Structure 1
């Protein structure tokens, strides 16, 4: 889509399962104000929209032109709706995200998936014609794909959901989407933690505990981490053969647990590559903690704007 010029600052909202981050973003990506609220994930979509509007009002300033929303779930930017979602946020699937928030804030709203918005910060502006694969491995496994410098959205906004690629390592394991055998079921943080216990290790409450045990030589923790890493590396390597990317970025909390994970992922990735791609290696994201809100604030410049005085029809 053609970029549009907005004269004033934009509010960027990053909606996750645990928190809502808001930022007022000015020219050149300068963050002018910030605010964070916990996500009322168990109280229904209406309460979530109310809380998002509250976070937006906390950073609003005179001259604010629009709101960009980077949200969990499968987001269709054209209709402004959540077309599919897990139960991380209760009742989120089917929500009229753009229309609901436009009505609550009085500002035009553009929306997209949170990982896709963050991935856009890896592109080098309108002249970037490269192909990018971006994976986010954390509580779930998300992703995004850009071709010729443009994010792919696909039917109903579903493009890039890498966590739902079939994975031999996850054979028979239930996925959060309701299917079985998907990458997320073995590679996400909670999945690695659960697999450690299945292998015979002591139950753990979080991935960091598993990582600490692996650092101390625990064989169950080591195997669970490396299996999740190998599954992710293999899936990304196969996808690289299909798409021929110039860059592969792996973000999220899981890759930050240490070299054991990262080395296993990179080794598995490299083993899958066809000869023309042999020099390609995954890399960490270059954006910092603000990547999601900055990506959200960029959305109104390129995606359909849903106006508050309409029923959600984009402009």
Structure 2
């Protein structure tokens, strides 16, 4: 990480803030977790993040962190350090000066990016060579992703690159998306989207994906069809993107792909069916076991050496 000193990786989600003190070799030296005060506004969230930084430093003994990397929910612009767009999961999160606000509260320089892009960065070390390309899909309560070309995760204009859940999907035609549009992949492939599809077909009240998965295991044909449809939609989008980018690896993360073989097999088969002949040997792979649930905090820590560092002056940017 930065020099020979540890850095702090922060993973900010709608329900929790995870922090880790990460050594120069990638070893996690200390951890701390607090609930996200999502309903209290952005200032309260920044205060909680700063408090988490103090707590994890306290656990680290004599270690001094040189910077903070933040993997955050929402559309994050790493250059400006701003949250350019976000859902209402965190109240008032859109428009927040994330990097400047946290740097001012902690006295440490801050680099920030979208949480899924940060997690994807940890996968680049498994790709082929320094010029490796990567497609990364994360399917959970939403659908996120990342695209890496020539060994670098793309951020794009306004930090929008990699939001794969907002690609058009025929299977989602007419369905509302969290971004306000209709017909996007997230509306049919995310956990709530699969559960909503089951409810539409059965005429029941939507429940959690876990309930749909349990019914599928018992042979419920409607539950199996909803899971398969969501997986196929995601697989087709991924296959089309693979044809466009020609990635060396395609990685799938998130809780939804872990619900069982029914989902994974449908995802894999739909992906493979879309591939052009030069890519026929390309396979979907799960996230690295060595990273596991630490992907976001480790990826966040990595941001301190790959993205601009916003200094505690709230206006200065180094590197």
TM-score w.r.t. the length of structure 1 is: 0.96
Distance in 2 (CA, whole Å) between partners of 1:91 and 1:141 is 21
2:304 corresponds in structure 1 to 300
Distance in 1 (CA, whole Å) between partners of 2:314 and 2:92 is 24
CA contact (8 A) 1:138 1:254 kept: yes
Secondary structure at 1:22 match in 2: strand
Distance in 1 (CA, whole Å) between partners of 2:173 and 2:209 is 21
1:224 corresponds in structure 2 to 226
Distance in 2 (CA, whole Å) between partners of 1:246 and 1:307 is 36
Distance in 2 (CA, whole Å) between partners of 1:310 and 1:207 is 42
Distance in 2 (CA, whole Å) between partners of 1:20 and 1:249 is 24
Structure 2 gaps, min length 5: none
The answer to whether 1:285 aligns with 2:252 is no
Once the two structures are superposed, the pairs formed by residues 183-262 of structure 1 within 5 Å of their partners are 183-200=185-202, 202-262=204-264
2:42 corresponds in structure 1 to 45
TM-fit CA distance, 1:308: 0.3
Aligned pair partner of 1:30 in 11, 27, 30: 27
Secondary structure at 2:177 match in 1: coil
2:120 corresponds in structure 1 to 119
CA contact (8 A) 2:2 2:66 kept: no
Once the two structures are superposed, the pairs formed by residues 96-111 of structure 1 within 5 Å of their partners are 96-111=97-112
Once the two structures are superposed, the pairs formed by residues 303-314 of structure 1 within 5 Å of their partners are 303-314=307-318
Q: Which runs of 4+ in 1 moved over 4 A?
A: none
Structure 1 gaps, min length 5: none
Distance in 2 (CA, whole Å) between partners of 1:213 and 1:36 is 33
1:142 corresponds in structure 2 to 144
CA contact (8 A) 1:98 1:312 kept: no
- RMSD over equivalenced CA pairs, Å: 1.4
Secondary structure at 1:27 match in 2: coil
TM-fit CA distance, 1:112: 0.6
CA contact (8 A) 2:103 2:314 kept: no
1:18 corresponds in structure 2 to 15
Q: Which stretch has the larger CA shift, 195-204 or 135-144? A: 195-204
1:54 corresponds in structure 2 to 51
2:94 corresponds in structure 1 to 93
State the number of aligned residues: 312
